[in-house]
Amino acid sequence: DIVLTQSPALAVSLGQRATISCRASQSVSISRYNLMHWYQQKPGQQPKLLIYRASNLASGIPARFSGSGSGTDFTLTINPVQADDIATYYCQQSRESPNTFGAGTKLELK
Amino acid sequence: EVQLQQSGAELGKPGTSVKLSCKVSGYNIRNTYMHWVNQRPGKGLEWIGRIDPANGNTIYAEKFKSKATLTADTSSNTAYMQLSQLKSDDTAIYFCAMGDYDGYYWGQGTLVTVSS
């Protein structure tokens, strides 16, 4: 199985940049497609797709969210962070089954 | 607008089974994969498996191969997951989701509580 490693938590000030990383135990890329996706989850809610295929903004997601990376190293950036962004963020790969998730990074206010 | 509507909360006794449903509106499930993911209290997301509703083919995570059974009814655009031989550590929220290479769109989740 592909293991995705995320830092457990990140403290950030409102209006600043937040950078959340995800490292895969093996490449999640096929040809030019990087099959890594990012989700936001708030307490009591289902996950919401933010970024698909590493760098594509999902429908309705504000442009302050962006994604980058390829191969095994990926990054979700939120700039600037707003109060509504306080949540847990998960990366997920769909390169192969099982489609594994990272353990999540909890974004906290500094 | 695509919507995934899951069935209501379930209370199951140990050793019994429950069957959860996920009705999709606004998109034909024949054209996508349907996945199931769980989240134990205070924990992260865990992929259970997926079904291709067009042909019924399924893939399961190893630890769920004898726990979960995925089916789909294309006539009602609904996916199902049966959980068998319930134990206390099956207590979790179970999400259905659709998609694959472009990420997942999610249902609201169904809380399954296992208790005698």
Q: What is the pLDDT of residues B105-115, one digit of tens each?
A: 999 999 999 99
What is chain A's alpha carbon radius of gyration, rounded to the nearest angstrom? Answer: 13
- Percent of residues, chain B, with pLDDT higher than 70: 100
CB B100 within 8 A of CB A42: no
Report chain B residues whose CB lies below 8 A from the CB of A49. Answer: 99, 103-106
Q: What is the pLDDT of residue B113?
A: 98
Q: What is the pLDDT of residues A43-93, one digit of tens each?
A: 999 999 999 999 999 999 999 999 999 999 999 999 999 999 999 999 999
**pLDDT category, B104, cuts 50, 70, 90?**
very high
Q: Long-range contacts made by residues B47-53, C-beta under 8 angstroms, separation at least 24?
A: B47/A98, B47/A99, B47/A100, B47/A101, B48/B81, B48/B94, B49/A98, B50/A97, B50/A99, B50/B100, B51/B79, B53/B29, B53/B79
Q: In whole numbers, what is the pLDDT of chain B averaged over residues? A: 97
Q: What is the pLDDT of residue A27?
A: 97
Q: Residues near B13 by Cβ (< 8 Å), separated by ≥ 6?
A: B86, B114, B115, B116
Flag if A92 and B103 touch (Cβ within 8 Å): yes
Of A33, A58, A99, the CB nearest to B47: A99
Flag if B101 and A33 touch (Cβ within 8 Å): yes
Q: What is the pLDDT of residue B7?
A: 98
The token pair at B78 is 């609904």
Q: What is the pLDDT of residue B13?
A: 97
CA separation for the pair B34, B31 (Å, rounded): 10
Q: What is the pLDDT of residues B62-97, one digit of tens each?
A: 999 999 999 999 999 999 999 999 999 999 999 999
